[in-house]
Amino acid sequence: MSSKKHVGAFLLVLLSALAVSACSKGYDQGTGAYEDNGISVTFPSGWEKTNVVPNATMTIGHADKNTHMSLFVQKVPDGTTLDDFLKRVSAGQSRVGAQETASGVIKMGDLDGQWLVHTINAGGMSFTSITYSVMRDATAYSIMGISRADAFGQWEPTFDAVAKSLRFN
């Protein structure tokens, strides 16, 4: 199985816990700017939209075909805290073999968010993902970056910059 198929299969399984119902309208591939769903985010320019994560609001991929970023906008039940949401996400990822390896806090827009790093082996390859999440008005906003584990250190600053660029319009 090609690495592209490994990444696609892994993303589909890993992110099924983040099912969303929003449509992607506002991504400019030339600039990397995304504006829709009441938010704006600056993604890397030149990355192409892809459908490897069908439940994502939007997914873009780097030309290496092993590095992707996804945006998720998900309504959550009233009273759900960010911690509750992240516990459900982590539980879903654990069920498919992903292991949480690190976590921390991050400022996204004007809100305090959290990030979680997971690793998983799929088809003999190791992948690392980082998911940044923040909650506002019963909606979870998550940005995920994923790459082969051996390249994660190279991509992590890019993933961090994208998460920090989130703004509420």
pLDDT band at 11 (very low <50, low <70, confident <90, very high): very low
Q: How far is Cα 141 from Cα 106, in angstroms, rounded to an integer?
A: 13
pLDDT band at 5 (very low <50, low <70, confident <90, very high): low
Neighbour-count burial of 49, counting CB atoms closer than 10 A to its CB (0-12 exposed, 13-18 middle, 19+ buried): exposed
Is 23's pLDDT higher than 80? Answer: no
Question: 105 forms bridges with which residues in the sheet?
Answer: 114
Do 94 and 13 form a contact (C-beta atoms < 8 A)?
Answer: no
Q: What residue type is assigned to position 3 of the chain?
A: S
Q: Where are the domains of the chain?
A: 3-168
Mean pLDDT of 98-104: 94
User: What Rg, from alpha-carbon coordinates, does the chain have?
Assistant: 15
**Range 3-168 classified under CATH 3.40.640.10:** no
Share of the chain above pLDDT 70, in %: 85
pLDDT digits (tens, 9 = 90+) for 116-131: 999 999 889 999 999 9
Is 20's pLDDT higher than 80? Answer: no
